[in-house]
Amino acid sequence: MSVKSVYSYVVILPNPEWAGQSGQVNPVPTNISFNLLVDNNILTLSSSTISRSTDIRGLLYVPDLDRIDPCVNASSLYIPSNATRQTNLPQEDYRLIAIAPWISADCTLAYLSAARQDPIRAFIFYPLDNGTGPLPPANDQMWGLHDGGQWRSHNKYPVYAVTSQVGNTLMTHLSRYSGNMTDVENGHYLTEIYDIRDYARIYTDIRTGKLSFNI
């Protein structure tokens, strides 16, 4: 199933330590927060587990690799140390969407495996150096993981690719929305509207149907 758009924006998550378990996701006005709509050059690498629902939504984050995995060092060149991880999210059962650079076959498999441990709904990868140019087709050797395609059946979530420009933009802002409310981008505005104890994080909405957002 092809993707019509990927829309990422900032939401406020109540801190369960004072608000209780709510699971609420409250969008922040786009004039005071980051948002990015991508409606072209989105590649579906694996879609066998996508239902007919057009809603694939979740908090954007970077999965944690095993500390001794060599891909940790390889990734450090492309992923800011303060990019949002699960430890930067409220301890609630929120749906997640993972993102990572496509560094190598081994590192891609490591990230896919790490994400399987999380309540993930989709994974977004991006190449390191294609800029805004067209992505190679899904059957291109660039996307090969040298396992005969078994990774598609091992991972029970859809996998997509976006351009390196889009991926780098999302990763940069994941590092800007990972700390306390006072530390995030435009935090001085947000703290005038929202409780300083809450979380401001990036939420991603992947649409496979009609392009429509109710935010």
Confidence of residue 25 (pLDDT cuts 50, 70, 90): confident
The position carrying tokens 């997640």 is: 96
In angstroms, the CA 176 to CA 207 distance is 25
- Mean pLDDT in residue range 92-116: 95
Helix (H, G, I), strand (E, B) or coil at 17: helix
pLDDT in tens, 153-176: 888 899 999 999 999 999 999 999
- Mean pLDDT in residue range 18-31: 79
Strand-pair category, 120-126 with 96-101: parallel
Judged by average pLDDT, the poorest of 57-61, 90-94, 135-139 is 90-94
For residue 134 the two structure tokens come to 């067209």
In angstroms, the CA 121 to CA 155 distance is 11
pLDDT in tens, 45-78: 998 665 555 579 999 999 999 999 999 999 999 9
- Domains in the chain: boundaries: 5-207
In angstroms, the CA 13 to CA 22 distance is 9
Q: In the predicted model, is pLDDT for residue 22 greater than 70? A: no
Whole-model pTM above 0.75? yes
Average pLDDT of the chain is 90
Largest CA distance in the chain: 53
Q: In the predicted model, is pLDDT for residue 20 greater than 90? A: no
Structurally, what CATH architecture does the domain formed by 5-207 represent? Answer: 3-Layer(bba) Sandwich (3.50)
